[in-house]
Amino acid sequence: MSDALGPVILDLAGPELSANERDLLRHPLVGGLILFARNYRSPEQLRTLTAAVRALRTPQLLIAVDHEGGRVQRFQRGFTRIPAMRHLGHAWDRDRNAACAVTRSIGYVLASELLACGVDFSFTPVLDVDSGASSVIGDRAFHSLPAAIAELARSLIAGMREAGMASVGKHFPGHGYVRADSHFAVPVDERSYAEIEAADMLPYRRLINNGLSAVMPAHVIYPKIDARPAGFSSLWLKQILRAELKFEGMIFSDDLSMEGASVAGGVVERAQAALAAGCDMVLLCNAPGSASELLERLPAVAMHQRRAEAMRGAPLSADFAALARNTRFAEAKADLDRFTASLA
């Protein structure tokens, strides 16, 4: 048994733990698990899986998912469908107060359902500014106006916090301007720091003191600032995010198996570079052949345990049946259902 969480977050092949996966997750360098659609069958199955993961270690591993809404919602059947955040941006254009109110309700529902199934947090909200170029961001972004993004994201975060869930803003300092998808390429953003600071970084500046728990940097190179992608850049993470913006929460790397991370070398070199640059935890997804190599070769790294524990969820209800009896949840879900119906 381990008395501390490690800096590596891994994934699973299917809806149940294999013997090999149990061994990997017990490794002292592992601190968390990220789930995907392939790991989900039903809320009941998900609760069984997360309980099995939690039984492996003390302290328990953190369990996360990408559950933003729209086309990035890993758990669907049995869960409330969350609309793409762009719809909330359109609502903000019509009525800012009403849009923020329903966004808070959406945050509450999203977080409550995940927490009731044993998931600690979602990698959300997306804080990227939609500049009309990025297909991988697209309608995942709230808006093209940084101020609108900040206002709506603050409401989403407030709803999540009310339910007991931390938040992760991504992709710092911004992925919305580049056309290339960092899953398959190494995007390059040629803008100056002044341009990025005035637009893309505004949501981060406003949210760091308004509940933002964690940040995920982009696998994007901003050559006028640093030759390295932001997720491997101590300038972006230590100097700008930590020192200048005064961010004290968790920093998660984006997936190290993505093509945008390839500039840092092999999987071990990528992890070392991200941790050295200022990431607290690194994600390795969809690369089962690399997980053992990473754990065998990555030197032991001390992690900021207080930041990690701040990401642990505090569920209001033990299951969906109990959640349905929660008055606040019922009200929030009704708000969400009315909004979704208005989109039809």
Predicted confidence (pLDDT) per residue in 27-54, tens digit = 999 999 999 999 999 999 999 999 999 9
**Poorest-pLDDT segment among 56-70, 92-106, 181-195:** 181-195
DSSP label at residue 187: -
**Stretch 188-200: mean pLDDT:** 96
Q: Rounded to whole angstroms, how far apart are CA atoms 122 and 166? A: 8
- The 10s digit of each residue's pLDDT in 301-319 is 888 999 999 999 997 777 8
Segment 127-142 shows an average pLDDT of 87
The DSSP secondary-structure symbol of 253 reads E
Q: What is the pLDDT of residue 264?
A: 65
**Kind of pairing, strands 214-217 and 226-229?**
unpaired
| pLDDT score of 322 more than 90 | no
Q: Give the active site residues.
A: 183, 254
Give a three-class secondary structure readout of 201-233: CHHHHHHCCCCCCEEEECCCEECCCEEEEHHHC
* Average pLDDT of span 244-263: 88
Question: What's the pLDDT at 1?
Answer: 43
Peptide bond into 143 cis (omega under 30): no
C-alpha distances (whole Å) from 9 to each of 33, 128, 206, 232, 264 are 5, 23, 28, 17, 18
The verdict on whether omega for the bond into residue 203 sits within 30 degrees of 0, i.e. cis, is: no
Query: Does residue 173 have a cis bond before it (omega within 30 degrees)?
Result: yes
Q: Report which of 324, 333, 316, 328 is spatially closest to residue 164, judged by C-alpha positions.
A: 316
From the list 299, 182, 301, 172, the residue with the least C-alpha distance to 239 is 172
* Angstrom distance (rounded) from CA 167 to CA 113: 15
The pairing of beta strand 67-69 with beta strand 72-73: antiparallel
